[in-house]
Amino acid sequence: MNTPLSRKIAVAAISLGIMAVRGGGASADEGGFCGRFTLVGGEKEVAFVDEGASGASIGDTRAGWRILNDEQGEPVGEVHFVATVTRVAASGDTVVGDYVVTLPKGWLTASTLYTRSSATDVSQRAGNARLAVTGGVGLYRDVAGEIEIEAGDQPRYLFDLDCD
């Protein structure tokens, strides 16, 4: 059957448009998450480990975990972190944070540098932060991208992952 060239071009254009739309949002590649998507912070536990001098000092550690829910409130993963104080100042304590995010079909790692008004106060809500995705396993073996954390009672984790 001979299909006119104009129809072939139209079908190709529609197919490319569908692929572009899919690339712009979250995709459940093989049951995982890639592309741009948002998860919402749920239940959490955070602890402060005081090393050396009493109170905030270099080497002190904040560590914890948080459930990550989809926007419908269903748990889809967790984030685990260890943040080490690297600078103590009146303007805020600087910490270097290492994160592991578990998602369907694997997990990924990310790192960040941010300032807290007080590293010792574990009652503080999550602050705004931008994390560089540094690697992963499973579906996320070759991942690259960023995670932006928007502060709030239920912080929002804005993922931008390239899993190719």
Q: To 10 degrees, the CA torsion angle through 62, 113, 163, 108?
A: -20
Q: Are 93 and 116 in contact (CB under 8 A)?
A: yes
Look at 25 and 120; give whichever has higher pLDDT.
120
Look at 159 and 28; give whichever has higher pLDDT.
159
Mean pLDDT along residues 137-159: 94
Q: Which residues contact 7 (CB under 8 A, 6 or more apart)?
A: none
What's the confidence (pLDDT) of residue 117? 78
Q: Which residues contact 69 (CB under 8 A, 6 or more apart)?
A: 39, 40, 41, 42, 75, 76
| Structure tokens given for 23 | 């690339």
Query: CA-CA distance, 15 to 97, in Å (whole number)?
Result: 41
What's the confidence (pLDDT) of residue 123? 65
Prediction pTM value: 0.77
Query: CA-CA distance, 33 to 71, in Å (whole number)?
Result: 14
Looking at domain 5-162, its CATH class is mainly beta
Mean pLDDT along residues 74-79: 97
Residue ranges of domains in the chain: 5-162
Per-residue pLDDT for 151 more than 90? Answer: no
Look at 114 and 130; give whichever has higher pLDDT.
130
Confidence of residue 5 (pLDDT cuts 50, 70, 90): very low
What's the confidence (pLDDT) of residue 13? 37
Mean pLDDT along residues 39-60: 91
Mean pLDDT along residues 4-8: 43
Q: What is the DSSP string of the chain?
A: -PPPHHHHHHHHHHHHHHHHHHHTS-B-GGGS-BEEEEEEEEEEEEEEE--SSSSS-TT-EEEEEEEEE-TTS-EEEEEEEEEEEEE--TT-EEEEEEEEEEETTEEEEEEEEEEES-TT-TTSPPPPEEEEEEEEEETTTT-EEEEEEEPSSS-EEEEEEE--
